[in-house]
């Protein structure tokens, strides 16, 4: 299913901002908000995960229902999960297209990656300290 | 032990009555002295004109609105950019240069002291951060009180001592130097998008008039024994017919100080207009100058406009809005809670435009009509009238009627019907120019005691050597050479250190900041005044404990403590 | 020991009324802070990196500060096109030091402005900024508009300290005398408490702003019946409110700067405010995110002339966002070293940038392990502005406040680290 993808700040994401490798930060920033009707259409159950994919990348997220979101739109808090889907082009403004990017959402059984593993997939070396 | 022997200096030092004497100047540890050892650095002034370091008594170079002007104008930054050379940082900016650019360019012109034209107390920290990055000039800040709620309340209650106590507390807290009033009352009215049209019009909600604010502040200033007088940007700046406001304002000032003026009016060019519309506007410098001559207790600076591009920036928010409605250029505004306002807009002074041509003439007239050069200081209200790097052009114009005539052919042809400039054949001489660019400022700002503005013993070793032989040049004819010579010194010495040679900065310097600390007893100390503290708590958006600027912002502060009856 | 009037430097609100209780050099409680600020103070110590770390050949090891500095100096000297990024959590003293370091090594220096309110600055550079300090809003504003931002989540105390809730000199009863309008593409906690909520379809901000401008200009007849989901009646109502209010303040956020149109959206908003100023008094303020991101713009400007994205490689200060901005430089794989101070591009930049950071020497100066740590070569922990270091910090409205140090730790302030790097690099370059 196609969705318009949006990302932004949430107070929870902000409160864990100095603990990016924590479980709480991961849970908050990998939780995709979706309208309940869209969730129903996709056949999403509570513990399901979804894969968000577009030409820039893909990421696995959990789902939480948010009736305040219009149908056809999804939202992820600002963070490394959201940024897997954002292109590096800026239309010569310096500012990437963080909002209003399109993604395809499908159900998946893949696990949600830890922040360190996301970075490892980018070519980094996970720091466990 | 830092010593310099400057030989063959043709000194003009108006404070000490020296006019073109060939002297060997001795400097040691930052001060003029009578002799130096053989270890002294020997510099040859080659018989060139040697003056005390230049002092700018009104220039917008550091602080919130100046920086606003910079970052909103990348085009201006590009226009003035220079690559880094030697120890100099890369610099940017034409009409609103970066702090290092300002410092280098002022130094190349021989200036060693600058009074920042306007500092809002709430944002003083920013001004001081930028002062520290303007290393080749000693700095001081005019502190804005024009829209100050606590002051207006005290004025309304006719409580002069309280008004003085508030000023004293604020200046000490934010490390300011003097009282600045910009469109008094008008900046508060601008908080609602309005302005004040007359000095007797009441400021809405505060029940005081600009006249009352001005007179109370003058009394407070003298009560606090501040080195400088009240520094006033009159109401109605830039409005046709505003000369009447200026004359009325001048009538308000009593004569309360023997050593210097009691009232300093700034950029009076912008306040000398007759007529009632842009269509019939004309110059009223004759009336202004006549009044000035009759008021020995008032001093002014020119605020000269020069043709070309620049950026206007002032605490006079409503005036900048009017310019926006006129020019439709990019306009910024920044009102400061409980205190003042500001606005910024780029402008272009066009020699084909009649109004601009009149403005150009007015500034020059003020200088040429003034009988006493000690009371008319050379400024452009940098950058409002023109960037300060163009001061040499003004000097050359004042020294040469031929130059003025040459320019008159290029400006609007009807200008001569509106202004008396072309009937004035007076040509200022080097002595008068020296007065108008440093000696008068030192006196007006009250910093003679700090050794500024002269080259006698106990003077600060701030020296500027201009490549002119005054006996072999006729400024009236060779105005181009005069203009060139004042652009770049052979040597600029600041605090006894050679900082600039041929316009190139050769050392990383560290400047000083002058600030005042009026001595006030507990009875009048706002720190413990319940009413003041409560007002602060309710209406400011910062905590009173976080408002004062700590002394680490003025690592080399020169604190001027003043005795007060409070 | 109670430290009163401490400053929280987390977000652009820069609340300076925080009360921090310190016992035995530990923060034990915090009053007045929001959940973001409380977390910043209370959960600080448990998260700090104990000392510098270095990644070599796929392995991480702890190293000494000396080794970290030595290695960083060598890398800086070797780099042909270094990028110095971040800065938004550091005090201006540090930011200024960073600018001078960039001058010295001909680097590009950029702050998180570039992915936040960079477009706002681009707009200001086109049409100016009619603004004010936050106390003006508190004391005078009758109408507050929050456009494309969600202050309850991102600036939790904004409404209670500066806008919606506090009484002011002219506003004796904020609850009765103020109205709040929230304009956004989705419902949020902020829209829930608004008097009026206008929901715009995504990408519609520019058109709605244009429609409002038309109405204010008296050309409402040209506006269609709906504009990106907003009914014309509602637009007429809003425009009328804006013209009639005694003082209005518009606050806007990433909803406008990041969506299609970017700086043109902001420009349109500024021009609407300009137009409204012909009728009454209006100001516009960007909701700056980081505690001292505005400070980076201020410091970079008074030194270089430009607020962010400055390229010193030519020996001049050169500014061209889109070319000299961090995301573009990283996307183009143009830099060969990245020094990151107090920021987390791994978390906040598009992943193509993160991937490139992993390929080049990346040095992070940051107190906490974060997403970028996994991409880094070296990380050096430092003290934190407002906790164990004090410095000048600029609030979202430009008011500069000096933070207080509430505890003492063995961590160096990032300003001192940058100074050390500067002096060491300069010493080597001086001999060349």
The complex's ipTM works out to 0.97
- Choose one of C228, C254, C286: the last residue of a domain: C286
Please, what's the b/e burial string for A46-72 (b: 16 or more CB within 10 A of its CB; e: otherwise)? Answer: eeebbbbbbebbbbbbbbeebeebbee
The Cα B132–Cα B137 span in angstroms is 10
- Choose one of C234, C253, C286: the last residue of a domain: C286
Distances (CA, A) of B73 to B310, C122, C145, C364: 11, 10, 27, 32
Nearest CB partner across the interface for A94, out of C35, C36, C118: C118
**Cβ contact C39–A15 (<8 Å):** yes
Substitution target from B189, B315, B546, B549 for chain C, most C beta carbons within 10 A: B546
Please work out, in degrees rounded to the nearest 5, the angle formed at the alpha carbon of residue B26 by the alpha carbons of B24 and B28.
Answer: 170
Q: How close A59 comes to chain C (CA, Å)?
A: 11
Same domain, C169 and C60: no
- C-alpha closest to that of B33 among B1, B60, B65: B1
Nearest CB partner across the interface for C317, out of B90, B330, B543: B90
Same domain, C167 and C86: no
Residues 6+ positions from B110 with CB-CB distance below 8 Å: B51, B53, B54, B464, B465, B466, B486, B489, B492
Residue C43 in any domain: the answer is no
Nearest CB partner across the interface for B71, out of C161, C297, C400: C297
Interface partners of chain B (CB pairs < 8 Å, 3 or more) are: C
Residues 6+ positions from B158 with CB-CB distance below 8 Å: none
Please work out, in degrees rounded to the nearest 5, the angle formed at the alpha carbon of residue C326 by the alpha carbons of C325 and C330.
Answer: 125
**Cβ contact B539–C297 (<8 Å):** no
The Cα A112–Cα A49 span in angstroms is 8
For B64, the enclosing helix (H) or strand (E) is helix B64-71
Domain range for C272: 118-286
State both tokens at B537.
Answer: 């708590």
Question: Does position A98 have pLDDT exceeding 90, yes or no?
Answer: no
Contacts of C133 in chain B (CB under 8 A): 122, 334-337, 541
Domain range for B210: 54-453
User: Would the CA dihedral through A19, A20, A26, A29 be positive or negative?
Assistant: positive
pLDDT given at position C431: 65
- Choose one of C261, C286, C311: the last residue of a domain: C286
Residue C68 in any domain: the answer is yes
**Cβ contact C355–A75 (<8 Å):** no
Distances (CA, A) of C129 to B70, B226, B530: 12, 36, 37
Secondary structure (DSSP) of B200-269: TSPPTTT---HHHHHHHHHHHHHHTT-SS-EEEE-TTTT-TTTHHHHHHHHHH-----SSS-SEEE--GG
CATH of the domain at C196: 3.40.228.10
Residue C393 in any domain: the answer is yes
Question: Does position A129 have pLDDT exceeding 80, yes or no?
Answer: no
Whether the Cβ atoms of residue C72 and residue C337 lie closer than 8 Å to each other: no
The Cα B70–Cα B62 span in angstroms is 11
Residue of C nearest to A98 (CA): C258
Residue of C nearest to A94 (CA): C322
pLDDT given at position A68: 83
pLDDT band at B474 (very low <50, low <70, confident <90, very high): very high
Q: At what angle do helices B354-369 and B391-399 cross, to 10 degrees?
A: 60
Residue C211 in any domain: the answer is yes
pLDDT digits (tens, 9 = 90+) for A73-95: 999 998 999 999 999 999 999 99
The Cα B513–Cα B137 span in angstroms is 9
The Cα B59–Cα C184 span in angstroms is 44
Contacts of B91 in chain C (CB under 8 A): 305, 317
Residue B500 in any domain: the answer is no
**Cβ contact B99–C303 (<8 Å):** yes
Window B:123-182, CB contacts with C under 8 Å: 123, 125-126, 129-130, 133, 149
Mean pLDDT of B434-458: 96
Residue B206 in any domain: the answer is yes
Substitution target from C350, C353, C361, C382 for chain A, most A beta carbons within 10 A: C350
Chains A and B touch (3+ CB pairs under 8 A): no
Window B:326-385, CB contacts with C under 8 Å: 329-338, 344-345
State both tokens at C119.
Answer: 């477009």
B400: which DSSP letter? -
Q: Does B244 touch chain C (CB under 8 A)?
A: no
The Cα C163–Cα C285 span in angstroms is 12
- C-alpha closest to that of B84 among C303, C277, C169: C303
Same domain, C171 and C244: yes
Substitution target from C160, C163, C301, C403 for chain B, most B beta carbons within 10 A: C301
Same domain, C319 and C420: yes
Question: Quick count: other Cβ atoms within 10 Å of Cβ B473?
Answer: 16
**Cβ contact A9–C150 (<8 Å):** yes
**Cβ contact C371–A128 (<8 Å):** no
Three-state secondary structure string covering C336-387? CEEEEECCCHHHHCCHHHHHHHHHCCEEEECCCCCCHHHHCCEEECCCCECC
Instruction: Tell me which residue has tokens 């690592």.
Output: B555
Residue B315 in any domain: the answer is yes
Mean pLDDT of B447-473: 96
pLDDT band at B37 (very low <50, low <70, confident <90, very high): very high
**Cβ contact B539–C169 (<8 Å):** yes
Mean pLDDT of B448-464: 95
Substitution target from C92, C143, C305 for chain B, most B beta carbons within 10 A: C305
Nearest CB partner across the interface for C124, out of B72, B92, B540: B72
Whether the Cβ atoms of residue C369 and residue C49 lie closer than 8 Å to each other: yes
Same domain, C69 and C135: no
pLDDT given at position C15: 98
Structural domain count of chain B: 1
pLDDT given at position C432: 57
Same domain, C395 and C309: yes
Instruction: Tell me which residue has tokens 């399901």.
Output: A48
Contacts of C298 in chain B (CB under 8 A): 67, 126, 129
**Cβ contact C103–B89 (<8 Å):** yes
% of chain B at pLDDT higher than 70: 100
Same domain, C93 and C125: no
The Cα C70–Cα C66 span in angstroms is 6
Residue C67 in any domain: the answer is yes
User: B302 burial class (0-12, 13-18, 19+ CB within 10 angstroms)?
Assistant: buried
pLDDT given at position B1: 61
Contacts of A70 in chain C (CB under 8 A): 186
CATH of the domain at C410: 3.40.50.740
Strands A2-8, A49-54: pairing kind? unpaired
pLDDT digits (tens, 9 = 90+) for B373-408: 999 999 999 999 999 999 999 999 999 999 999 999
pLDDT given at position B514: 98
Residue C33 in any domain: the answer is no
Phi, psi torsion values for A8, nearest 5 degrees: -170, 180
Whether the Cβ atoms of residue C65 and residue C52 lie closer than 8 Å to each other: yes
pLDDT band at A126 (very low <50, low <70, confident <90, very high): very high
Phi, psi torsion values for B96, nearest 5 degrees: -125, 70
State both tokens at B97.
Answer: 């240069």
Bond before B383 cis per omega within 30 degrees: yes
**Cβ contact C306–B71 (<8 Å):** yes
Residue of A nearest to C116 (CA): A95
- C-alpha closest to that of A72 among C203, C207, C230: C203
Residue C263 in any domain: the answer is yes
Alpha-carbon Rg for chain B in angstroms: 22
pLDDT digits (tens, 9 = 90+) for B401-445: 999 999 999 999 999 999 999 999 999 999 999 999 999 999 999
Q: Does C245 touch chain A (CB under 8 A)?
A: no
Same domain, C273 and C303: no
Alpha-carbon Rg for chain C in angstroms: 23
Residues 6+ positions from C262 with CB-CB distance below 8 Å: A91, A93, A95, C119, C122
The Cα A12–Cα C189 span in angstroms is 13
Window C:301-320, CB contacts with A under 8 Å: 309
Same domain, C108 and C125: no
Whether the Cβ atoms of residue B342 and residue B317 lie closer than 8 Å to each other: yes
Structural domain count of chain C: 2
Whether the Cβ atoms of residue B222 and residue B260 lie closer than 8 Å to each other: no
pLDDT given at position A45: 82
The Cα B323–Cα B239 span in angstroms is 11
Whether the Cβ atoms of residue B562 and residue B518 lie closer than 8 Å to each other: yes
CATH of the domain at B80: 3.20.20.140
Q: How close C339 comes to chain B (CA, Å)?
A: 21
Q: How close B72 comes to chain C (CA, Å)?
A: 4
Same domain, C222 and C267: yes
Residue B349 in any domain: the answer is yes
Whether the Cβ atoms of residue B434 and residue B374 lie closer than 8 Å to each other: no
Same domain, C307 and C269: no
B90: which DSSP letter? P
Mean pLDDT, chain A, rounded, equals 89
Whether the Cβ atoms of residue B93 and residue B77 lie closer than 8 Å to each other: yes
Strands B497-501, B504-505: pairing kind? antiparallel
Same domain, C106 and C131: no
Question: Quick count: other Cβ atoms within 10 Å of Cβ C173?
Answer: 8
The Cα B501–Cα B248 span in angstroms is 47
Residues of chain C with pLDDT under 50: none
Q: Does C200 touch chain A (CB under 8 A)?
A: no
Residue C20 in any domain: the answer is no
For C190, the enclosing helix (H) or strand (E) is helix C189-192
Count of A–C CB contacts within 8 Å?
Answer: 207
The length of chain C, given as a count of residues: 432
Contacts of C50 in chain A (CB under 8 A): 129
The Cα C413–Cα C13 span in angstroms is 23
**Cβ contact A20–C347 (<8 Å):** yes
Q: At what angle do helices B124-132 and B64-71 cross, to 10 degrees?
A: 70
> Global pTM?
0.97
Whether the Cβ atoms of residue C321 and residue A94 lie closer than 8 Å to each other: yes
C163: which DSSP letter? S
């Amino acid at each position: 299913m196609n969705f318009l993808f949006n990302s932004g700040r949430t107070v929870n994401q902000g409160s864990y901002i100095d603990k990016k490798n924590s479980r709480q930060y991961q849970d908050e920033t990998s939780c995709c908000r979706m309208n309940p009707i869209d969730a129903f259409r996709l056949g999403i159950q509570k513990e399901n995960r979804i894969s968000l994919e577009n030409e820039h990348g893909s990421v696995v997220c959990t789902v939480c229902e948010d009736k305040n979101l219009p149908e056809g739109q999804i939202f992820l808090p600002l963070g490394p999960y959201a940024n897997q889907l954002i292109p590096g082009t800026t239309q010569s403004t310096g500012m990437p297209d963080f909002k209003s990017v399109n993604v395809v959402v499908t159900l998946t059984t893949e696990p949600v990656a830890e922040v360190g593993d996301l970075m490892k997939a980018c070519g980094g070396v996970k720091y466990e300290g | 032990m830092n010593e310099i022997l400057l030989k063959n200096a043709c000194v003009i030092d108006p404070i000490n009555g020296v006019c073109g004497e060939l002297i060997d100047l001795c400097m040691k540890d930052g001060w003029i002295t009578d002799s130096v050892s053989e270890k002294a650095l020997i510099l040859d002034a080659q018989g060139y004109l040697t003056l005390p370091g230049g002092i700018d008594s009104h220039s917008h170079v550091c602080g919130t609105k100046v920086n606003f002007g910079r970052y909103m104008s990348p085009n201006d930054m590009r226009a003035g950019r220079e690559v880094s050379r030697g120890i100099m940082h890369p610099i940017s900016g034409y009409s609103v240069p970066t702090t290092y650019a300002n410092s280098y360019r002022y130094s190349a012109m021989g200036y060693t002291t600058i009074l920042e034209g306007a500092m809002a107390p709430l944002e003083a920290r920013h001004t001081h951060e930028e002062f520290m990055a303007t290393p080749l000039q000693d700095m001081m800040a005019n502190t804005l009180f024009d829209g100050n709620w606590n002051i207006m309340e005290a004025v309304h209650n006719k409580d002069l001592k309280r008004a003085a106590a508030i000023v004293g507390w604020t200046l000490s807290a934010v490390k300011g130097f003097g009282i600045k009033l910009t469109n008094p009352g008008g900046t508060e009215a601008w908080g609602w998008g309005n302005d004040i049209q007359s000095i007797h019009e009441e400021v809405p909600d505060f029940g005081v008039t600009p006249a009352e604010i001005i007179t109370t502040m003058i009394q407070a200033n003298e009560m606090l024994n501040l080195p400088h007088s009240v520094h006033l940007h009159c109401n109605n700046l830039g409005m046709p017919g505003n000369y009447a406001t200026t004359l009325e304002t001048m009538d308000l000032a009593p004569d309360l100080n023997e050593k210097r003026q009691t009232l300093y009016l700034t950029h009076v060019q912008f306040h000398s207009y007759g007529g009632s519309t842009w269509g019939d506007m004309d110059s009223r410098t004759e009336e202004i100058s006549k009044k000035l001559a009759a008021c020995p207790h008032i001093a002014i600076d020119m605020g000269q406009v020069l043709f070309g591009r620049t950026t206007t920036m002032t605490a006079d928010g409503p005036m900048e809005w009017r310019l926006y409605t006129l020019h439709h250029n990019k306009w910024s505004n920044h009102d400061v809670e409980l205190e003042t306002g500001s606005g910024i807009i780029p402008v272009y002074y066009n020699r084909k435009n009649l109004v601009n041509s009149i403005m150009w003439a007015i500034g020059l007239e003020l200088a040429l009509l003034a009988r006493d050069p000690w009371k008319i200081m050379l400024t452009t209200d940098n950058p409002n009238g023109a960037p300060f790097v163009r001061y040499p052009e003004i000097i050359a114009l004042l020294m040469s009627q031929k130059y003025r005539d040459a320019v008159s052919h290029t400006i609007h042809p009807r200008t001569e019907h509106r202004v008396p400039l072309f009937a004035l054949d007076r040509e200022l001489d080097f002595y008068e120019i020296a007065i108008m660019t440093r000696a008068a400022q030192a006196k007006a700002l009250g910093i003679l005691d700090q050794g500024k503005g002269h080259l006698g013993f106990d003077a600060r070793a701030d020296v500027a050597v201009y490549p002119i032989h005054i006996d072999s040049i006729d400024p009236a004819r060779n105005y181009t050479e005069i203009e060139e010579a004042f652009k770049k010194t052979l040597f600029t010495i600041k605090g006894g250190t050679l900082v600039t040679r041929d316009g190139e900065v050769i050392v990383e310097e560290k400047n000083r900041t002058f600030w005042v600390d009026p001595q006030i007893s507990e009875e009048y100390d706002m720190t413990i005044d319940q009413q003041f503290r409560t007002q602060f708590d309710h209406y400011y958006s910062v905590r009173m404990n976080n408002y004062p600027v700590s002394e680490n912002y003025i690592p080399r502060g020169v604190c001027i403590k003043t005795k007060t009856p409070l | 020991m109670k430290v009163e009037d401490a400053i929280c430097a987390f977000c652009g609100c820069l609340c300076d009324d925080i009360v921090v209780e310190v016992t035995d050099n530990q923060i034990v409680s915090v009053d007045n802070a929001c959940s973001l600020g409380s977390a910043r103070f209370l959960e600080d110590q448990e998260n700090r990196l104990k000392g510098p770390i270095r990644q070599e050949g796929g392995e991480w090891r702890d190293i000494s500060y000396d080794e970290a500095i030595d290695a960083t100096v060598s890398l800086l000297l070797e780099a042909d096109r270094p990028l110095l990024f971040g800065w938004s959590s550091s005090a201006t003293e540090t930011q200024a030091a960073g600018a001078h370091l960039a001058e010295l090594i001909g680097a590009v220096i950029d702050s998180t402005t570039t992915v936040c309110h960079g477009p706002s600055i681009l707009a200001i550079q086109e049409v100016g900024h009619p603004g004010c300090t936050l106390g003006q809003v508190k004391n005078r504003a009758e109408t507050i508009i929050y456009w494309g931002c969600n202050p309850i989540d991102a600036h939790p105390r904004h409404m209670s300290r500066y806008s919606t809730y506090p009484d002011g000199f002219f506003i004796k009863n904020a609850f009765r005398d103020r109205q709040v309008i929230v304009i956004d593409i989705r419902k949020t906690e902020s829209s829930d408490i608004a008097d009026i909520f206008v929901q715009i379809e995504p990408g519609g901000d520019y058109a709605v702003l244009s429609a409002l401008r038309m109405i204010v200009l008296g050309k409402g007849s040209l506006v269609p019946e709906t504009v990106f989901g907003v009914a014309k009646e509602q637009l007429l109502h809003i425009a009328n409110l804006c013209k009639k209010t005694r003082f209005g303040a518009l606050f806007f956020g990433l909803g406008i700067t990041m969506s299609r149109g970017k700086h043109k959206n902001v420009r349109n908003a500024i021009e609407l405010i300009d137009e409204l100023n012909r009728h009454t008094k209006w100001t516009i303020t960007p909701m700056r995110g980081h505690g001292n991101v505005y400070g980076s713009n201020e410091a970079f400007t008074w030194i270089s002339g430009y607020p962010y994205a400055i390229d010193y490689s030519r020996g001049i200060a050169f500014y061209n966002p889109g070319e000299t901005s961090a995301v573009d430089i990283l996307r183009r794989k143009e830099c060969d070293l990245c020094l990151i101070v107090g920021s987390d591009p791994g978390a906040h930049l598009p992943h193509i940038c993160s991937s490139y950071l992993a390929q080049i020497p990346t040095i992070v100066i940051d107190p906490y392990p974060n997403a970028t740590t996994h991409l880094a070569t070296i990380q050096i922990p430092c003290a934190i502005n407002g906790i164990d270091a004090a410095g000048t910090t600029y609030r979202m409205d430009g008011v500069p406040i000096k933070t207080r140090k509430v505890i003492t730790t063995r961590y160096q302030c990032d300003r001192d680290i940058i100074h050390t790097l500067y002096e060491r690099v300069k010493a080597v370059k001086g001999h060349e």
